[in-house]
Amino acid sequence: MSIHSIKVKFSAAATFAFFGLVSLLAAQEAGAPQGSTMMQGDQGPHLMMSPGLMMPVMNPAKGRKLFAEKGCVACHSVNGIGGTDAAALDASTMTPMMNPFDFTARMWTGAEAMIDMQREELGEQIQFTGQELADIIAFAHDAEEQKKFSEADIPPEIDKLLHADEEDGRSDHEMKGGNEMMKRGGGMKH
């Protein structure tokens, strides 16, 4: 092996090691598990899970904002703030360690009822990106971030929906058939 080829191989190895170290430091700084690597995706940083799959870095602060803005709060409550048509999403009621895909699977179980309610209450089905859903799930599991959630987080148009029942003299939203499962909490609680 020539001196030149050794220098080229050493230079390439040093470059890969440098970028690997930078990636590992970025993952640790973002709170990623040891051994994970970070990659920048369309919606932000992601953890590499296995070939072809990545897990978004979940941000509970962004999730708090999205929970209100997307209209989840119209049916779900946190800390007693929000609607009562569906299960409360207080972190204290969540399984301490939960696979986020299990949370999504529970949402899927109640999808038909939730979509009906979204169309009735909000006028259309709520659309989420994967990153938005990840952030909302992070919020649903973060007791410290939930302590920051207040009426001030709720946009005026969503707040109007929440208080429409009080103005109409009803204590709860009218529910269509099939939504009782969501009211009892079958959609999220463990």
pLDDT digits (tens, 9 = 90+) for 105-120: 999 999 999 999 999 9
pLDDT value, residue 1: 58
Please say whether the beta carbons of 98 and 179 come within 8 A: no
From the list 85, 96, 48, the residue with the least C-alpha distance to 170 is 85
> What pairing do the DSSP bridges indicate for beta strands 53-56 and 81-82?
unpaired
Using 50 as the pLDDT threshold, list the residues of the chain that sit under it: 5-29, 32-41, 171-190
pLDDT value, residue 116: 94
Q: Which pTM value belongs to this model?
A: 0.65
Measure CA 12 to chain center: 39
Type and span of the H or E element at 145: helix 143-147
